[in-house]
Structure 1
Amino acid sequence: MANTDSESKTNTDVYHERNLLAVAFLRALTDVDADAVGWWPDTDDVNGEEWAVVWVDLDGVGQVGWHIPQGMVPDWLPKRDPEYDGYTTSEKNDRVAQFAGIPEVTQ
């Protein structure tokens, strides 16, 4: 049975939803600036070849990206080297919050 938002979820459920959201976010931004999005195979030995990084350069904010299973990379997303700028997860979250107009990131 599928979970509703009020039921507890497994880590697999949560990450699947997060992966879908990351790809949907990039899809929405392709209408604004298609040159600023893409995917690249994960080159980190920790994650292996089954993973990809989907990324976007947010205007005035900087680059952000997420690791997702390569099987979730949609055909419409161009394979493009992101020229990773070295952001940390915390910096990425701050950039997304700034782009979204969220005054303070809370966890």
Structure 2
Amino acid sequence: MKYKKSAHSSYLIQAHIIFVTKYRERKFTSEMLYKMNFIIKRECLKLKSELVEFNGESDHVHMIISYLPSISISRLVNVLKSIAGREMKLWFPQLNQVAWR
């Protein structure tokens, strides 16, 4: 692991984030996971963060993200979850179905 440096400090902040489908329904395919990986990487670059690891199954996604101390974890998760969810529903309309239980 390499520490990142700023003017007066060294840091290495990583978060293990898990996104889960509603009711843990098995909805993700390999094509969907590939597209989500692309979306998350792109948004991390916009936030000056780095997607260290990405892995997923049919009902959840694991990510390890290295980010700056100036970004709060709540903002990072909010941005990633909202944009990834919105774009995934645009690319894959079957994810936009209402979940009834």
Which structure has more relative contact order (CA 8 Å, sep 6+)? It is 2
TM-score, L = length of structure 2: 0.30
